[in-house]
Amino acid sequence: MLTFYLVLLSITNQSQVNQKDFKRKKIINRLKNQGRHNSDCIFCRILDGLEEGTFIYRDDNVSAFMDIHPLFEGHTLVIPNEHFKDVTDVKPEIMAEVMKVAQIVSKLMIDNLGADGINIMHSTGRSAGQTIYHFHVHVLPRRIGDDAGFERWWFSRSHKASRDELQEVANRLTQR
């Protein structure tokens, strides 16, 4: 009886996996047809199953998988299934979907990985440190005392600006 149950369970799991796999392939094919899939891009290849990825979340628009070089244990990348290069390029509604998933992942980190803080980071362009040109956000679980030197760096590089200085930059920023 137990064996039967286990066999049944494994058949059920297998068919769930196959269905998921089928759905994933359908999404990838749709994106390929729309030209929003770049076979030279490592993240597109991970989505496609051509490179290994450790996924924690997938839906029609967004996927999340573990960063291969974790800055903190649990460091996760959240990406659109469509290939967009950066923040200037990604559709706003897709970016909103990415952020929804970043929130889900953040809560998982707090509930299951003992995180008590989260950094959500993004880089666009080489000067900002972008190395993979498929839009993504990093979700970083933080714990008191993990000390990345991050906050120290931030405060050592920033200064208290005068109101005039802020206004002058704001004017330039919003000029037409």
Binding site for Zn ion (CB under 5 A): 38, 41, 43-44, 83, 134
In this structure, which amino acid lies at residue 43? F
As a whole number of angstroms, the distance between CA 37 and CA 67 comes to 20
Is there binding between residue 148 and ligand 5GP (CB under 6 A)?
A: no
43 vs 65, beta carbon nearer Zn ion: 43
In this structure, which amino acid lies at residue 32? K
CA torsion, ordered 130, 149, 73, 70, to nearest 10 deg: 30
Is there binding between residue 69 and ligand 5GP (CB under 6 A)?
A: yes
| Residue 68 binding target from ligand 5GP, Zn ion, none, CB below 5 to 8 Å by type | ligand 5GP
User: Helix or strand or coil: residue 74?
Assistant: coil
**CA-based angle 106:95:115, to the nearest 5?**
10
- Give yes or no for a contact between 76 and 67, defined as CB atoms under 8 angstroms apart: yes
As a whole number of angstroms, the distance between CA 54 and CA 49 comes to 11
Please pick, from the candidates 7, 8, 68, 170, the single residue that binds ligand 5GP as defined by CB under 6 A. 68
Is there binding between residue 3 and ligand 5GP (CB under 6 A)?
A: no
CB of 132 to ligand 5GP, least distance (A): 4
User: Helix or strand or coil: residue 68?
Assistant: coil
Is there binding between residue 65 and ligand 5GP (CB under 6 A)?
A: yes
CB of 70 to ligand 5GP, least distance (A): 8
131 vs 156, beta carbon nearer ligand 5GP: 131
Is there binding between residue 130 and ligand 5GP (CB under 6 A)?
A: yes
Residues that bind ligand 5GP (CB under 6 A): 42, 51, 53, 65-69, 77, 123, 129-132
